[in-house]
Amino acid sequence: MRKPSGRLALREWPPEGFRFLPASLIPHPASLFRLSYAAVLKGALIARDLITLTPPIERALLVGAPRKGTAARHNLDEHLEELEQLVDTAGAVVVGTITQQIDRPNPATYLGKGKIEELGTLIDAKDASLIIFDDELTPAQGKNVEDATGKRVMDRAELILDIFATRARTSEAKLQVELAQLEYMLPRLTRMWTHLEKTRGGIGMRGPGETQLETDRRLVSHRIRQLKEKLADVTRAREIQRQGRRGVFRASLVGYTNAGKSSILRGLSGARDVFVEDRLFATLDPLTREVDLGENNRVLLTDTVGFIRKLPHHLVASFRATLEEVIDADLLLHVIDASHVGWEEQRRVVNTVLDELGVHDKPVLHAFNKIDRIPSETLIPLQERITNLLPNSVFVSAETESGLEPLRRALLAKTRALKPVSEIRLGASEGRLLAEIHRLGEVMEQRTDGAELVLRARIDEALAGRLRRAGAHVDDGKKGSSPVHSDGDGAANADHAVDIS
Ligand SMILES: Nc1nc2c(ncn2[C@@H]2O[C@H](COP(=O)(O)OP(=O)(O)OP(=O)(O)O)[C@@H](O)[C@H]2O)c(=O)[nH]1
Ligand SMILES: [Mg+2]
């Protein structure tokens, strides 16, 4: 079984000596020295300062309750382990787990009465402050479990939204997350108001409480409309940006969170500023870097947010502008963590999200990553099985020397497939065009024919279009290709081996 990732294995929490201090707040020894020095100067007690400044860490109880007869019940341990990783990423600590296979969710409390009582006992025993369900709760179920246990209840969707909210950096990501959170919150406003009603007393509060609830609904709906308008502007701006990039070969990394997408971008481009972390949702904002594939072939490679099982649909909907831009590439590079026991399910999840985004006819190259973690006696049969299933796959490691070479070669083949060998004729005085062909194309032969220069070179559609418009004669062997005016990337798909699964 895969060990929980993160800075600290959850079960090891709290570490000795830092009982209620999250790892991110543990000071570096050097800064401790500076702090103690300052503290001595002020005559203050440093330990007291640190403890009083630290917010309490949530102690979470996990609830996994798949339906009998569903596939999820077989993967219960793995799903809960993933939920633990999400909890860790959100900065809380898991203090216990409760599981049950259910025929169907109880409409009032999701779990049955007996299990809710068991949950109450466990909360007391573990001093838990938060309950997290792996499955989606209706607003009523969430409220009822909160009433029954007296503790805050979240479902997986809310937890993921929370992580996105803390990790969003750009204004666009913040807008998108806020929209998703408000959409999630709207049907749950009653539950939030009930809390206030309880603390302020019932009779006498009900009228104003309801009015306030209505006011809040209106305010939230108004903000949702505003955010949607702002995001529509973002979509338009992205569309313009996208047009500017037409003609350059673009590939996008997609895949399950933590599969190694950012590591691959870093490895291929050599860009050290790409953020890699053994946590879920390390990347939220798309990042594009140029990758030099050699022989005058380049690809603009974009990294983006990873997908996960039960990704809240509000989130997918509000991240649409970003994701559409990302997947509007010539090629999708689907990165799969081959060393993960659940890679097949993860691959299905990614395909489902891509379906949701309307991706049906994109060429996909599957990159099975982290093969350095698989012993060779397992790797060989796995490679055979995968190659039968998806012949268009490469097996890579972002961690080993030359581990990404098969992917680099596959990308080179893809870019070259987009650049047919063409015969180009231009006037001998066209020095600028000649330089452009040498800069962007792969020149195989060059000769003069009277007053003309004749070249045989691999060039892409965009360059071919520009040359034709400048008066050159370009023959790429396609019927009627000579006097064409298109410089779009529409031809990209035609030459690809389409491998959608
Ligand atoms: N052993 C091994 N570890 C890898 C490999 N590729 C990535 N990792 C590790 O896997 C973890 C996740 O890598 P990332 O590149 O951040 O994964 P990601 O797909 O970008 O993840 P998100 O941005 O969270 O969706 C990091 O700890 C990497 O060091 C690999 O080929 N082999
Ligand atoms: Mg990443």
What digits encode the pLDDT tens for the residues 475-485? 987 655 444 33
Q: How far is the CA of 278 from the centre of ligand 1 (A)?
A: 6
Of 48-62, 133-147, 266-280, the range with the lowest mean pLDDT is: 48-62
Q: 74: which residues sit within 8 A by CB, 6+ positions away?
A: none
For ligand 1, atom 13, the nearest C-alpha belongs to: 260
Tell whether ligand 1 has an atom less than 6 A from the beta carbon of residue 369.
yes
Confidence of residue 29 (pLDDT cuts 50, 70, 90): very low
The token pair that represents 260 in the structure block? 């190694």
Q: What is the mean pLDDT of the chain?
A: 80
For 383-421, write each residue's pLDDT tens digit: 999 999 998 899 999 999 999 999 999 999 988 887 889
For 117-149, write each residue's pLDDT tens digit: 999 999 999 999 999 999 989 999 999 999 999
Listed residue (58, 161, 66) closest to 110, CA to CA: 66
Tell whether ligand 1 has an atom less than 6 A from the beta carbon of residue 259.
yes
State how far the alpha carbon of 443 is from the alpha carbons of 179, 244, 298, 314, 420, in Å: 50, 26, 15, 49, 12
Tell whether ligand 1 has an atom less than 6 A from the beta carbon of residue 346.
no
Tell whether ligand 1 has an atom less than 6 A from the beta carbon of residue 89.
no
Is residue 37 over pLDDT 50? Answer: no
Is residue 242 over pLDDT 50? Answer: yes
| Strongest mean pLDDT among 329-343, 432-446, 473-487 | 329-343
Is residue 203 over pLDDT 70? Answer: no
Tell whether ligand 1 has an atom less than 6 A from the beta carbon of residue 356.
no
Q: Is 478 left (phi over 0), alpha (psi -120 to 50) or beta?
A: beta
Tell whether ligand 1 has an atom less than 6 A from the beta carbon of residue 278.
yes
Q: Which ligand is nearest to the CA of 401?
A: 1
Distance (Å, whole) CA 354 – CA 328: 12
Of 16-20, 267-271, 369-373, the range with the lowest mean pLDDT is: 16-20
- Nearest ligand 1 atom, CA 264: 15
The token pair that represents 144 in the structure block? 């009822």
The whole-number pLDDT of residue 332 equals 95
Q: How far is the CA of 263 from the centre of ligand 2 (A)?
A: 7
State how far the alpha carbon of 381 is from the alpha carbons of 110, 337, 376, 472, in Å: 42, 16, 9, 52
Tell whether ligand 1 has an atom less than 6 A from the beta carbon of residue 306.
yes
From 169, 252, 269, 276, the mutation candidate for ligand 1 (largest count of ligand atoms within 8 A of CB) is 276
Q: DSSP for 395-455, please give it.
A: E--SSSTTTTHHHHHHHHHHHHHTS-EEEEEEETT-HHHHHHHHHHSEEEEEEEETTEEEE
| Strongest mean pLDDT among 32-41, 104-113, 313-322 | 104-113
Q: Is the dihedral of CA 204, 208, 211, 216 positive or negative?
A: negative
Tell whether ligand 1 has an atom less than 6 A from the beta carbon of residue 282.
yes
Is residue 41 over pLDDT 50? Answer: no
- 442-448: long-range contacts (C-beta < 8 A, 24 or more apart)? 442/295, 442/296, 442/297, 442/416
Is residue 297 over pLDDT 90? Answer: no
Q: How far is the CA of 258 from the centre of ligand 1 (A)?
A: 5
The whole-number pLDDT of residue 190 equals 65
Segment 267-285 shows an average pLDDT of 89
The whole-number pLDDT of residue 388 equals 94
- Greater confidence (229 vs 498) lies with 229
Q: Which ligand is nearest to the CA of 263?
A: 1
Q: How far is the CA of 397 from the centre of ligand 1 (A)?
A: 10
Tell whether ligand 1 has an atom less than 6 A from the beta carbon of residue 257.
yes
Confidence of residue 212 (pLDDT cuts 50, 70, 90): confident
- Greater confidence (192 vs 310) lies with 310
The whole-number pLDDT of residue 489 equals 33
Confidence of residue 461 (pLDDT cuts 50, 70, 90): confident
Tell whether ligand 1 has an atom less than 6 A from the beta carbon of residue 370.
yes
The whole-number pLDDT of residue 39 equals 42
How many CB atoms within 10 Å of residue 47? 10
Q: How far is the CA of 336 from the centre of ligand 2 (A)?
A: 13
The whole-number pLDDT of residue 101 equals 87
Is residue 304 over pLDDT 50? Answer: yes
- Greater confidence (219 vs 408) lies with 408
Tell whether ligand 1 has an atom less than 6 A from the beta carbon of residue 463.
no
The whole-number pLDDT of residue 52 equals 55
Segment 338-345 shows an average pLDDT of 95
